[in-house]
């Protein structure tokens, strides 16, 4: 009989994450497969362990967007921008959420900021939008 570890989330082949990065990585796996509720839960755990973990805010904001929770998505993407105002991805995604939340003026402002950051980047645009 195969050995299956059981966690509070049910059977799994991987152990429960031990740190913020682990929760973020597992959240990414859930998100990639469309399991947004579990992704949001894992990103929240990552943020609870490290309130400055900018990628967890960004990722949770993306998952909130995917389930149509635009206000929550905007809050997380705004927090990501507060923590790292030079990352163009955060403005690009927040621009999209603003559009879906019927705030085109704010979307346009974020898109302009994103383009400005990308034009000043020595590495070229970030992956994403």
Q: What is the mean pLDDT of each run of 10 residues along the chain (129 residues)?
A: 39 76 97 97 98 98 98 98 97 98 97 94 56
Task: Quote the domain boundaries for residue 46.
Answer: 15-120
Q: Any idea what the CATH number is for the domain that residue 33 is in?
A: 1.25.40.10
What pTM was estimated for this model as a whole?
Answer: 0.82
For the chain, how many structural domains are there in total? 1
Structural domain includes residue 42: yes
The owner of tokens 């383009």 is 115
Structural domain includes residue 10: no
Structural domain includes residue 110: yes
Structural domain includes residue 4: no
Structural domain includes residue 126: no
Structural domain includes residue 94: yes
Spatial contact of 57 and 88, defined as CB atoms under 8 Å apart: no
Q: Give pLDDT, residue 10.
A: 40
The owner of tokens 């003026």 is 105
**How far is C-alpha 111 from the geometric centre of its chain's CA atoms?**
18
């Amino acid at each position: 009989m195969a050995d299956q570890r059981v966690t509070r989330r049910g059977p799994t082949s991987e152990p429960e994450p031990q740190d913020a990065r682990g929760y973020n990585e597992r959240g990414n796996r859930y998100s990639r497969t469309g399991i947004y509720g579990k992704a949001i839960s894992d990103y929240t755990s990552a943020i609870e362990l490290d309130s400055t973990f900018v990628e967890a805010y960004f990722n949770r904001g993306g998952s909130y967007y995917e389930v149509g929770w635009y206000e929550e998505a905007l809050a997380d993407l705004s927090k990501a921008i507060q923590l790292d105002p030079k990352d163009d991805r955060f403005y690009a995604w927040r621009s999209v959420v603003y559009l879906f939340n019927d705030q085109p003026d704010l979307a346009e402002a974020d898109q302009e900021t994103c383009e400005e950051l990308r034009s000043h980047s020595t590495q070229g645009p970030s992956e994403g939008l």
